[in-house]
Structure 1
Amino acid sequence: MRAYRGTMSLERLAEIVNFSKSHLARVETADSMPPPELPALLDARFGTDGIFSELYQLARNESQPDQLQRRMELEAQACSVAEYTCQVVPGLLQTADYSRALFKAHYPCAVAEVIEAMVDIRLNRQAIFRADTPPDYSAILDEAVLHRGFGGPAVMRAQLNRLIDLMLTASGTVQVLPFAYGGHPLVGGSLALFTRADGTQVAWEEGSDSGTLMEDLERATARRRSYDLLRSCSLSPSESVTFIRSVMETLPEDYAPLTYPTPMGRALQER
C-alpha cells in the first residue's frame, strides 16, 4: 500500500478511525496515550507498514521522568478520583504532622526546609476539595494503613480522627478493607484512578519509590475492575468509623523506647 502524502484535518481523521476529535487532539499533543487499537487503524489508513504500532509500543514502555508531575495534573483536573492504599494514608487525606513524619521516615537525611517544602506541596494538593466543584472522591484503605504509625500516637490519633471526619461527605467516601478479606490483585502497592470530564480514565499505580501512569484504555479498565471489587468487599463508611475507633482505643499514650538486649545493642543505645 502506498503511504499517504499530504495533510488531513482532525475532523476527517476522527471520522475515519471512529474516535472523537477531542480524544485525538490529546493524543496529538501528548496529553494522552493512544488507545491500543488506534495505531493499527492509523497504519492501515496511511499505509505506514506498522510504524504507528511500533511507536505505540515504545511510548507505552517508556519510563517518563515527568510522570509524577503528569499524575498531579490529572488529579487537579479530574472530575472523579478513586484511590486504594495498602500502607500509608493517601496524600489527599493526610494531616500536616502525618505528612511530615512520613517524609522524615522516607528521607532521613533531608534538612528541615526540604521536608517542609514537600509537606506544603502535599497539602496544596488538597485544595481540590475546596474548589467550587470538587471532584467525587473515594478511597479504600487497607487495614495496615491504620496500624502503621508515623510520628507517634498523638500524630496517628489526629490522623485517624481526620479519616473519620472524611468517611462520608457530600463529595466523597472513605472505606476500610480489613485483613479478613485476604489477598487481592492490588496488594503490595497503591492505585489512583482519575476520570476526566469526557469520561476517559487514567490509572496511576505506585510502589515504594516509583509510579507508573497508564493512559491506555485496556490497563486503566483492568485497574478499575480491581478497584470496584475491593470497594464492594470493604466495610461501609459507618462500619469503617467503628473499625477506626476500635484501632484508636489500642493506641498507647506514647511509644515505649526501643531496647537492645545484646551487648552490641546496649553499646549502640549508650552512644
Structure 2
Amino acid sequence: MPARRAVTGRSQEPRKRFAEELRSLRAERGLTLRKLGDVVGWDWSLFSKMENGETLGGPEVVKALDQYYGTPGLLLTLWELALADPTQFKEQYRRYMTLESEAISLWHYAPYLLPGLLQTKAYAHTVLGWGSFEGEELTRQVEARWGRHALLEGEDAPSFRAIISETVLRTRLPVRAEWQEQLEHLITIGERRNVTIQVVLHSAGLYALGNTHVMFLKPTDGRTVAWLETSHSGQVVEETAAVNRLQLRYDFVRDLALSPADSRKFIMRTLEEASCEPST
C-alpha cells in the first residue's frame, strides 16, 4: 500500500483531499462504485458524489468506509477537516470562519435566528433554503454548517455563551417534529460544560442589540473582535473602541437575560408546549 500523506488541518483544499483519498482507497481494492455500494451497504451513487466532491456524506457512511478499508479514524478525520473548511462559505464569511476556528472563547446574541453553532440540520436547511442555495449546493452548505458543531466538542473546545431572544424560541420551524428536535438539541447542548445558553424574555422591554446578530470572538492573542450579521451580509469589527461599545451593550443584555438554569427551564416549557399542540 502506498504511503499516506499526513493528515493535518493545514490543507488548502480539504474537500479535494478527502475525495482523493476515497478514490485512492477504492482503486487499491479494485472496486467499482456499484461493488463498493454492495459490500458497504450504501447506494453507489452516494459514493460517486463523495468521490467527485459533490457531497461529503454523513459520519455514519464515513465510519463504515473507515471500517471496511481498515483505516480507523483516517477518513473521519479528513471528513471533519473538509466540513470545517472555510472555503466552502461565501467570501465575506471566510475571515469570520478563520477567526471562529482559532477562538478560545465566543459569545453571541441572537435576536431572531439561532446561531449556526446551535442549529440542527433541519433548522439550517430551512434558513439556508431562503437564499440562493438549492439542490446539491444547499445540501453542501447544510453539511458545512453542521460540521462547525465540532468546534464545541473535545477537551480544548472554546467556551461559548449564547443569549437568544424569546422571539427565537417563538419562531418555529414549519414541521413540528423538526422544531421539537431543535428544542431538544438546545437542551442537550446546553448541558456541556463549555456552553451557556440564556434567554431574554419579551417582558424585558426594549434593549440594546435588539435587532443585531453579533458574535464576539477572542483569539489566542487576547484581543476581541466582533462579527455583525444581517440576513444579507456580515462584517468583522476589529477597531477596539467599536468592539468595546458593542461589548457594553452585550453586557447590558446579559444582565436582562434569565439565568442559565431558568433559561433551560424556559426552553423545556417551550418544548412541552410544542409537544402538546395538535398535529396539523
The 3-state SS of whatever aligns with 2:220 is coil
Separation in 2, partners of 1:127, 1:245: 24
Shift in Å at residue 68 of structure 1? 1.2
Shift in Å at residue 131 of structure 1? 4.0
The correspondence for 1:135, drawn from 149, 158, 176, is: 158
Separation in 2, partners of 1:73, 1:174: 23
Q: Is the 8 A contact 2:118 2:186 kept in 1?
A: yes
Alignment of 1:144-183 (within 5 A): 144-183=167-206
Q: Does 1:186 align with 2:213?
A: no
The correspondence for 1:87, drawn from 97, 112, 118, is: 112
The correspondence for 2:141, drawn from 118, 130, 136, is: 118
Alignment of 1:9-88 (within 5 A): 66-88=91-113
Alpha carbons of 1:131 and 1:67: their partners in 2 closer, same or farther (altered >3 Å)? farther
The 3-state SS of whatever aligns with 1:250 is helix
After the TM superposition, which segments of 4 or more aligned residues of structure 1 sit over 6 Å from their partners? none
Alignment of 1:213-232 (within 5 A): 213-232=236-255
The 3-state SS of whatever aligns with 1:150 is coil
Q: Is the 8 A contact 1:67 1:213 kept in 2?
A: no
Output one character per residue of 1:135-185: Cα deviation in whole Å (capped at 9) or x when no partner.
Answer: 011000100111111241111111111111223421120011111111112
Q: Is the 8 A contact 1:98 1:151 kept in 2?
A: no
The 3-state SS of whatever aligns with 1:186 is coil
- The residue type paired with residue 244 of structure 1 is I
Shift in Å at residue 189 of structure 1? 2.2
Output one character per residue of 1:10-57: Cα deviation in whole Å (capped at 9) or x when no partner.
Answer: xxxxxxxxxxxxxxxxxxxxxxxxxxxxxxxxxxxxxxxxxxxxxxxx
Separation in 2, partners of 1:208, 1:253: 32
Output one character per residue of 1:79-101: Cα deviation in whole Å (capped at 9) or x when no partner.
Answer: 00000001111100111111112
Output one character per residue of 1:208-236: Cα deviation in whole Å (capped at 9) or x when no partner.
Answer: 21112101101111111111111122111
Q: Which residue of 1 aligns with 2:218?
A: 195
- The residue type paired with residue 78 of structure 1 is A
Q: Does 1:244 align with 2:267?
A: yes
Q: Is the 8 A contact 1:83 1:140 kept in 2?
A: yes
Q: For the aligned residues, what is the CA RMSD?
A: 1.6
Q: Is the 8 A contact 2:197 2:264 kept in 1?
A: no
- The residue type paired with residue 198 of structure 1 is D
Output one character per residue of 1:101-136: Cα deviation in whole Å (capped at 9) or x when no partner.
Answer: 2222x13x6432111111011011111112441001
The 3-state SS of whatever aligns with 1:139 is strand
The answer for unaligned runs of 5 or more in structure 1 is 1-64, 257-271
Aligned residues: 189
Q: Does 1:102 align with 2:127?
A: yes
Separation in 2, partners of 1:93, 1:110: 20
Separation in 2, partners of 1:197, 1:231: 24
- The residue type paired with residue 146 of structure 2 is L
Give TM-score scaled by structure 1 length.
0.66
Q: Greater CA radius of gyration, 1 or 2? A: 1
